[in-house]
A = this chain, B = another copy of it.
Amino acid sequence: MLNQTNVRLGKVRSSIRELFEYGKKRRAEIGAENVFDFSIGNPSVPAPDDVKKTLIGLIENTDPAELHGYTSAQGDYAVRKSVADNLNARFSTGLDADCIYMTCGASASLTITLNALLNGGDEVIAFVPFFPEYKVFCGHAGGTLVPVACDGEFQPDLDDFAAKLSKKTKAVIINSPNNPSGVVYGEDTIKKIVALVEKCAQPVYIISDEPYRELTFSDAAVPFIMNYYKRSIVCYSYSKSLSLPGERIGYIAVNNEAEDFGEIYAGVLGAGRALGFVCAPSLFQRLIARCAGQTSDLSAYKANRDRLISKLTEYGFTFAKPDGAFYLFIKSPDGDAVSFAERAKKYELLLVAGDDFGCGGFVRLSYCVSPDMIERALPAFEGLAKSYNLI
């Protein structure tokens, strides 16, 4: 008998990946221009020109045996130093290279961190709505995900959080700007979360999963967890900020103010070994050392957001206005997310049913797409709205 947990995970797939594959098939069948794929967070804005120039410069001017060689397991020293320096400059932290562990992207950052922290039976709290793979990652690491409810604006329900914290709580995952709602948690919320965590008798770790940190559309600052809580770990990826999702490059930053910093970092190193991550891809590590402070031109996402908010509101759809990331979390007119997503497919609109995000009755729309596609998709949204008698 094979490992049935993993066989099942492989057969079912995540709802997002499932729809991604369906979209590929559908484009082949009826033409790419006729499919309106809002399913996945694959950035439509290209990587900055500097990424292209830097990659070519590295490949042309570096000894290939050095460029493509193994780095230290935790990442090249100069790369880690540049990441630490960049964080220190932005958030007034005192991190050094040895607080940083380079990873193969945000999912790897999370699985490594969870495997460093968890023992069998531990609980990990996440605020709904949350990225569905959190549950898979916690399960593999021997833990259980405990969802905490949100209010109507997708902000954490702090009473429910207080009720869910227990002796078994090992970690709390914060994801702001949030996938799938796009909302940002303000400083007041972070402070309240920290205050509740500090009441626990046992050490509780706060993991900030923040691949969307730079994708904000208002002046709302995204508080940096290390400035509020010592036992904190930041999981980051350049997938969204530099439009490099397929290249798998990110990092884990462990707060060196944590009393057990050395243990946490050792756990991260050990978990990276056990999971089979030898080092993060070396060419892209070197790219990061040179481009850590840059971002793609993210203004296109704001334009997309504004256009969609305006038109979808006109068509009668409802959702919380997102301050960041590139998602809209839309309420199903009849309260059923699966049937809403299925009906949308008839209009060639690919939207992810949000039940897996721990929040029934909503679908996720990723608007990291071309403005063109949005314009072409508007009649489909209008048709979908009419089918529900919204207009």
A71 within 8 Å of B (CB atoms): yes
Task: Give chain B residues whose Cβ lies under 8 Å from the Cβ of A107.
Answer: 276-278
Residues of B with C-beta under 8 A to A47: 64-65, 68
Nearest B residue (CB) for A45: B65
Over the window 1-37 of chain A, the binary record of Cβ atoms lying under 8 Å from chain B Cβ atoms (1 yes, 0 no) is 1111111111101100100110010000000000000
Cβ contact within 8 Å between B59 and A247: no
Bound complex: CA of A288 vs CA of B276, how far in Å?
21
Could you tell me the dominant secondary structure of chain A's interface residues? helix
* Range of interface residues on A (Cβ < 8 Å): 35 or more
Q: Which of B133, B270, B279 is within 8 Å of A10, CB to CB?
A: B270
- The reply to whether the CB of A176 lies closer than 8 angstroms to some CB of chain B is no
A3 touches B104 (CB 8 A): no
Which chain B positions have C-beta within 8 A of A108?
276-278
A273 sits at the interface (CB 8 A): yes
B9 to A270, Cβ gap below 8 A? yes
Which of the 9-residue segments A217-225, A257-265, A324-332 touches chain B?
A: A257-265
Tell me which of A151-159, A182-190, A238-246, A380-388 binds B: A238-246
State whether B52 touches A3 (Cβ < 8 A).
no
Given A107-B278, A275-B276, 12 more contacts at CB 8 Å?
A: A4-B119, A9-B274, A10-B268, A24-B72, A59-B59, A65-B243, A67-B246, A68-B244, A69-B246, A104-B104, A247-B282, A248-B248
